[in-house]
């Protein structure tokens, strides 16, 4: 149970970082932390207590195997988050070129 709570805490750290930080790079780090928390949650969903690796062999019974599917999902989710992060960092670099700052309180020309 405590693992799930820690996972939730990690997610909240990410969200806090996105909502409260003023630096563009820190916001991106916040997104990444929140993504890790969700990936961790997916892996936890698959976990079975005292489980073993899901490899089937003739002399073993199918007992307590961890679920292999979410692990494949996590791999996909990581690839997607890599694409998002790369794009975010690319945009952040361009923002720095144009505005000369990473502070989002100074980057707000769009209003209304």
Chain residues in the site for other proteins (CB under 8 A): 11, 15, 18, 24, 27-28, 31, 34-35, 38, 41-42, 45, 69-70, 73, 76-77, 80, 83-84, 87-88, 91-92, 94-95, 98-99, 107-110, 112
Element (H, E) at 18: helix 2-20
Least distance to other proteins, CB of residue 3, Å = 14
Shortest Cβ distance from residue 58 to other proteins (Å)?
A: 22
Q: Does the CA dihedral 18-20-24-30 come out positive or negative? A: negative
Decide if 10 contacts 32 (C-beta within 8 A): no
As beta bridge partners, residue 23 has: 103
| 42 touches 74 (CB < 8 A) | yes
Q: Closer CB to other proteins, residue 13 or residue 77?
A: 77
What's the token pair of residue 27?
A: 């916001």
- Pick 49 or 59: Cβ nearer other proteins: 49
Smaller CB separation from other proteins, 61 or 98? 98
């Amino acid at each position: 149970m405590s693992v799930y709570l820690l996972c939730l805490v990690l997610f909240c750290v990410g969200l806090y970082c996105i909502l409260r930080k003023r630096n563009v790079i820190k916001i991106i780090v916040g997104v990444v932390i929140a993504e890790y928390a969700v990936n961790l949650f997916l892996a936890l969903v698959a976990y079975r207590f005292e489980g073993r690796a899901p490899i089937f062999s003739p002399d073993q019974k199918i007992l307590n195997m961890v679920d292999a599917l979410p692990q494949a999902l996590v791999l996909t989710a990581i690839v997607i988050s890599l694409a998002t992060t790369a794009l975010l960092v690319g945009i952040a670099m361009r923002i720095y070129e144009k505005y000369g700052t990473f502070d989002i309180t100074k980057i707000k020309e769009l209003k209304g």
